Homo-oligomer: A and B are copies of this chain.
Amino acid sequence: MSAHTYALDDWRICDAAFNPERNLLDETLFALGNGYIGLRGTQDEGFSGLPTGSVDGTYLNGFYESTPIAHPEIAYGLASHTQFMLNVPNGKRVELWLEDEGLDLSQGRITHYERALDFREGVLRRTLRWTSPQGRHVEVVSERLVCLLRKHVYAIRYAVRPLNFSGRVALVSRLEGRVKNIEAGDDPRVGAHLGIPPLKWIEAQQGELRSRLVHRTRQSDFLLVSALDHAWEGPADVEITRDSLGSGQCLNHVFTAQVEEGQTVRLTKLGAYHSSRDYPEAELLLRSDEALSQARADGFDVLVREQAEALAAFWRDADVEIGGDPALQQGMRFNEFHLLQSVGRDGRTNISAKGLTGEGYEGHYFWDTEIYVFPFFVATQPQVARQLLAYRYAGLPAARRRARQMAHAQGALYPWRTIAGDECSAYFPAGTAQFHINADIAHSIKLYVEVTGDERFLREQGAEIVMETARIWMDLGSFDPRRGGAFCIHEVTGPDEYTAMVSNNFYTNAMAQQHLAFAASVAERLQRKYPRDFARIATAMALAADEPARWARAAEAMYLPLDEALGIHPQDDSFLHKPVWDFANTPPANYPLLLNYHPLVIYRHQVCKQADVVLALLLRGDSFTLEQKRRDYDYYEPITTHDSSLSACIFSILASEVGYEDKAYRYFMHTARLDLDNEHGNTQHGVHTAAMAGTWLAVVQGFAGLRLHGGQLSLAPRLPAHWTHYSFRIRLRGRQLEVRVRPGEVEYSLLEGEALELRHGTELVRLNSRQPVKTRPMATRPTAADIASGPALEPCA
């Protein structure tokens, strides 16, 4: 038996037996989504058997309810409300009755079971043969998809064939409005504090084949239309009845027919969700009808074909091929597939920490987007990355309001966690105190502009975000006369949540430095190249003439200390003074530490939940020598627990860079199959989208060493020991570059766009037309000295 959850397969996950013990995990892994609708991979008929039960969730990206946060001890400016991703009415259910026996996976006998999700198809397909307690043998093939090209539509086809009997077969298709979210329990990472049910039933409508439930959220005040349509393929004399339960809260369509042995009947369910978060309330019903009518007219097969086409396009850009390690290949593609399924693409939504697959972290968006997920999309689907930035731009007014609340007279402070833009951190020391969120967003804008050259975005949205958010650092920090006037930042929490509210967190200072310098340069560039845009923005934000110069001065004076004794960057002012955590006497069961030790116990030790200094070394990679990176890596690695899923991928990349190939590979393995093999033990509550993107980063930035510093593209590919090859494609300023690495050979191909220069290690590679360039992988990484002595190249335009 393999230790893997499912059999290894390059392009799909496939489960060959129904496993009640693993039901919650399967529901997450087989979840479908299109960036808007998310359906957990539940059994069509539902499953309430022991031991884990089921979270029969249906989620809409950005569709949230707001509830007050009941702080047991209130303080000024604490986040007053949380927003959480709602579990919306469930249209997934189809019940099957064979005469008087209902199909129930926990009853009777399953004689064949296969559930598979092919990443090129995007259709969840279950083939089941089941014998009822009374001996009726039936084959059921169900297919489910969430249309990647139709934001509001999902579809289910449920086919039934009696194998050893003829008789009355009934299919009950349900639209269930009596749904609720998980209640909060002992794990701080899961569940909401609900109170009364957040969805208020407004009305139910039911025709012969269509059903519609209309709800309104109580606090966020959104109207939601959940609708179903049906198509029947089978005996024409089917009897179609309908009923409603719970005073119209749950609508059923019952299709009953006499079916002969061997005959197949099929019920197609088409579902749609429309909410007033996207459209005026008055349009919702009509839009719902139109979407369903169109889908019905096109038919299920067309939806399947469309889905495959959409995925083919995705994989053309995004596929990372890995030869020689099927487990990693499967993990990589599974992760990329889920990123596509999870990411909001409408400029009003983002990608939540758990995608649309579960209720962990209440469906909140974090910095995970900008620092982990964004580089994947900007390199493979820049148009999606653009929408993620549009989401942040839409959040600027809320970020400005939050800044005022936090005593900033000017500027914008983005929330640590949110859906609609308001701060939702219930525990500010590891929430609001992570001010680096502002720099992370600025970093993604910088990256976006460098990769795409999209200056229009900068003029229309980007510059305003970058400058407004930069202002906050001028309040958070100050020139410390006791440190020779260095710009110091107090009372912040860095990425490492095992340390809180410190002075001069290295990551924060390093990223603030980049942010301030970038803001100053954006101001300068705009003023020079687009004076009208600059004037408009400057007026809107009441920008003082000397502000950009002050940002530049703060950036220059930024305090980034190096500890002389150890030759490393202290994570913060107090960090190196604290005793190192007693790892030797910490039993494995006590990890993650956060579930077993009071925060104060953790905070007073040198112990990291995740990459902090090490992450800064990656994002600000051009500012530190390789030797420096190795020293920092060597120091922080032994004291990092990787209790956060955001950690392993970053350590993999840095291990690659500093030449620890085995470690790079081990960390990569942990990241690549983190969800597939449930390595953190909580994938039941949703996938870890940041770690999924981290898998891509670990190959592209780690093994292939891709960097884009100062607009200069460089790579330094190595082939991990037992791989036969790997390849990937990236987009850069209208070009598409393919990188293929085989034993002894690296092949660069320019698939689209104009000529391109890149650095291969210390070598300069010029790519033009369609002629690939072949060279050799790196044996070892070049040192800073190597690189400095190598050829300079112009940033590509």
Binding site for B on A (CB under 8 A): 69-78, 82, 184, 186-188, 193, 405-407, 425-429, 431-433, 476, 478, 480, 482-483, 488, 490-491, 500-503, 565, 573-574, 576-579, 594-601, 603-604
Given A483-B577, A574-B503, A574-B573, check contact A76 B597 (CB 8 Å): yes
Closest residue on chain B to residue A559 by CB atoms: B577
A601 touching B73, Cβ below 8 Å: no
Assuming A71-B427, A77-B598, A478-B579, what are 13 further A-B pairs, CB within 8 angstroms?
A70-B72, A75-B594, A75-B598, A75-B599, A76-B597, A76-B598, A77-B601, A405-B598, A406-B601, A428-B598, A476-B604, A482-B577, A483-B577
A428 touching B599, Cβ below 8 Å: yes
B597 touching A407, Cβ below 8 Å: yes
A330 to chain B, nearest CB (A): 35
A596 touching B76, Cβ below 8 Å: yes
A72 touching B77, Cβ below 8 Å: no
Closest residue on chain B to residue A601 by CB atoms: B407
A366 to chain B, nearest CB (A): 14
Give Cα distance in the complex from A595 to B77, angstroms.
Answer: 9
Give Cα distance in the complex from A483 to B476, angstroms.
Answer: 28
B406 touching A598, Cβ below 8 Å: yes
Give Cα distance in the complex from A72 to B69, angstroms.
Answer: 6
Q: Could you say which of B78, B432, B576 contacts A482, with CB atoms under 8 Å apart?
A: B576
Q: Could you say which of B82, B565, B598 contacts A78, with CB atoms under 8 Å apart?
A: B598
A592 to chain B, nearest CB (A): 10
Give Cα distance in the complex from A379 to B426, angstroms.
Answer: 46
A643 to chain B, nearest CB (A): 12
Q: Could you say which of B483, B491, B577 contacts A490, with CB atoms under 8 Å apart?
A: B577
A100 to chain B, nearest CB (A): 46
CB neighbours (8 Å) of A577 from chain B are 480, 482-483, 488, 490, 503, 573
Pick 16 A–B contacts, CB within 8 A, sort by A. A71-B426, A71-B427, A72-B427, A73-B425, A73-B426, A75-B594, A77-B597, A77-B598, A77-B601, A405-B598, A406-B601, A482-B565, A490-B574, A490-B578, A491-B604, A500-B501
User: How many copies of the shown chain assemble into the complex?
Assistant: 2
Closest residue on chain B to residue A500 by CB atoms: B501
CB neighbours (8 Å) of A74 from chain B are 184, 186-188
Give Cα distance in the complex from A199 to B72, angstroms.
Answer: 21
Give Cα distance in the complex from A433 to B600, angstroms.
Answer: 7
B193 touching A600, Cβ below 8 Å: no
A412 to chain B, nearest CB (A): 16
A427 touching B73, Cβ below 8 Å: yes
A427 touching B188, Cβ below 8 Å: no
Give Cα distance in the complex from A71 to B71, angstroms.
Answer: 6
CB neighbours (8 Å) of A405 from chain B are 598
A545 to chain B, nearest CB (A): 22
Give Cα distance in the complex from A604 to B72, angstroms.
Answer: 23
Q: Could you say which of B78, B490, B600, B603 contacts A604, with CB atoms under 8 Å apart?
A: B490
A657 to chain B, nearest CB (A): 29
Closest residue on chain B to residue A69 by CB atoms: B72
CB neighbours (8 Å) of A73 from chain B are 188, 425-427, 431
A191 to chain B, nearest CB (A): 10
Give Cα distance in the complex from A72 to B604, angstroms.
Answer: 23
Give Cα distance in the complex from A783 to B575, angstroms.
Answer: 40
Given A478-B579, A500-B501, A600-B501, check contact A72 B75 (CB 8 Å): no
A183 to chain B, nearest CB (A): 12
CB neighbours (8 Å) of A432 from chain B are 598, 600
Among A82, A483, A501, A596, chain B packs the most CB atoms within 10 A around the CB of A501
A149 to chain B, nearest CB (A): 38
CB neighbours (8 Å) of A425 from chain B are 73
Give Cα distance in the complex from A488 to B576, angstroms.
Answer: 12
CB neighbours (8 Å) of A476 from chain B are 604
Give Cα distance in the complex from A72 to B430, angstroms.
Answer: 13
Give Cα distance in the complex from A596 to B76, angstroms.
Answer: 6
Q: Could you say which of B193, B488, B500, B600 contacts A406, with CB atoms under 8 Å apart?
A: B600
Give Cα distance in the complex from A578 to B481, angstroms.
Answer: 10
Give Cα distance in the complex from A316 to B475, angstroms.
Answer: 57
CB neighbours (8 Å) of A574 from chain B are 490, 502-503, 573-574
CB neighbours (8 Å) of A187 from chain B are 74
A82 touching B76, Cβ below 8 Å: no
Give Cα distance in the complex from A184 to B71, angstroms.
Answer: 10
Among A74, A188, A603, chain B packs the most CB atoms within 10 A around the CB of A74
CB neighbours (8 Å) of A598 from chain B are 75-78, 405-407, 428, 432
CB neighbours (8 Å) of A70 from chain B are 70, 72, 193
Among A433, A482, A576, A599, chain B packs the most CB atoms within 10 A around the CB of A599
A428 to chain B, nearest CB (A): 7
CB neighbours (8 Å) of A71 from chain B are 72, 426-427
Closest residue on chain B to residue A483 by CB atoms: B577
Q: Could you say which of B76, B501, B594, B600 contacts A595, with CB atoms under 8 Å apart?
A: B76
A604 to chain B, nearest CB (A): 4
CB neighbours (8 Å) of A75 from chain B are 188, 427, 594, 598-599
A401 to chain B, nearest CB (A): 13
Give Cα distance in the complex from A101 to B177, angstroms.
Answer: 58
Give Cα distance in the complex from A193 to B73, angstroms.
Answer: 10
Given A428-B600, A597-B76, check contact A573 B573 (CB 8 Å): yes
A487 to chain B, nearest CB (A): 11
CB neighbours (8 Å) of A431 from chain B are 73
A247 to chain B, nearest CB (A): 29
Among A77, A406, A425, A491, chain B packs the most CB atoms within 10 A around the CB of A491
CB neighbours (8 Å) of A573 from chain B are 573-574, 577
A594 touching B483, Cβ below 8 Å: no
CB neighbours (8 Å) of A483 from chain B are 577
Give Cα distance in the complex from A379 to B603, angstroms.
Answer: 41
Closest residue on chain B to residue A592 by CB atoms: B76
A656 to chain B, nearest CB (A): 32
Give Cα distance in the complex from A576 to B432, angstroms.
Answer: 24
Q: Which 4 A-B pairs have the closest CB atoms?
A: A77-B598, A491-B604, A72-B426, A73-B427
Q: Could you say which of B406, B482, B603 contacts A501, with CB atoms under 8 Å apart?
A: B603
CB neighbours (8 Å) of A427 from chain B are 71-73, 75
Closest residue on chain B to residue A409 by CB atoms: B585
Q: Could you say which of B72, B407, B578 contacts A193, with CB atoms under 8 Å apart?
A: B72
Give Cα distance in the complex from A603 to B565, angstroms.
Answer: 30
A230 to chain B, nearest CB (A): 42
A223 to chain B, nearest CB (A): 28
Give Cα distance in the complex from A603 to B490, angstroms.
Answer: 9
CB neighbours (8 Å) of A407 from chain B are 597-598, 601
Closest residue on chain B to residue A430 by CB atoms: B73
Give Cα distance in the complex from A31 to B476, angstroms.
Answer: 46
Given A478-B579, A482-B565, A501-B500, check contact A594 B188 (CB 8 Å): no
Give Cα distance in the complex from A405 to B503, angstroms.
Answer: 28
